[in-house]
């Protein structure tokens, strides 16, 4: 399960402002309650991966004492790959149900695709394939980034693809609509 350190969009905030939010007692209370509920319904949870400066700062204030915290550098931090490999090595020694019978516990050296099942429902296949695909549009009244929505951009390679043919099931559904 992936839990955002701050449950709101903070793209227009400085790193210092983000860390101040991490220290906010309401944010910490939110995470304590979230972790309490998560563990109440998932007794097998024994570790939390704290990725990035904000998560590493937040974890000591909110994680229960019997839950192991494994610190990870974010992808933009120096030494992140070594950090990820160290975390995988720690996870390899733990007993827990695994999706793969024999995982390698080796951090990939190159970029790759995330498995579809690991993405939120409805995430389009092209999301994240060509750099930043979203921006916060500027509100013309305030001159500030809009807090209400993100503007998504479809990469040109995806826009130029022909649509996939309808499956037999989709063709039948289309006929029922006419």
pLDDT of 79-122, one tens digit each? 999 999 999 999 999 988 888 889 999 988 877 777 777 777 77
**What is the reported pLDDT for 171?**
93
> Can you list the residues of the chain whose pLDDT is less than 70?
128-133
Q: What is the pLDDT of residue 153?
A: 78
* Three-state DSSP string of the chain: CCCCCCCCCCCCCCHHHHHHHHCCHHHHHHHHHHHHHHHHHCCCCCEEEEECHHHHHHHHHHCCCCCEEEEECCCCCCCHHHHHHHHHHHHHCCCCCCCCCCCCCCCCCCCCCCCHHHCCCCCCCCCCCCCCCEECCECCCCCCECCCCCEECCCHHHHCCCCCCCCHHHHHHHHHHC
The model's pTM: 0.70
What pLDDT score does 131 carry? 62
């Amino acid at each position: 399960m992936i839990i955002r350190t701050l449950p709101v969009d903070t793209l227009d905030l400085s790193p210092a402002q983000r860390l101040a939010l991490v220290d906010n007692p309401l944010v910490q209370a939110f995470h304590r309650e979230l972790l309490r509920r998560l563990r109440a319904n998932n007794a097998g949870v024994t570790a939390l991966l704290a990725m990035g400066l904000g998560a590493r700062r937040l974890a000591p204030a909110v994680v229960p004492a019997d839950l192991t915290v494994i610190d990870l550098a974010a992808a933009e931090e120096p030494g992140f790959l070594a950090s990820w490999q160290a975390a995988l090595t720690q996870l390899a020694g733990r007993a827990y149900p695994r999706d793969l019978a024999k995982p390698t516990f080796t951090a990939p050296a190159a970029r790759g695709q995330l498995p579809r099942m690991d993405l939120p429902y409805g995430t389009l296949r092209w999301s994240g394939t060509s750099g930043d695909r979203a921006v916060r549009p500027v509100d013309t009244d305030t001159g500030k980034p809009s807090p209400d929505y993100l503007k998504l951009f479809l990469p040109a390679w995806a826009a130029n693809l022909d649509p996939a043919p309808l499956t037999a099931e989709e063709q039948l559904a289309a006929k029922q609509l006419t």
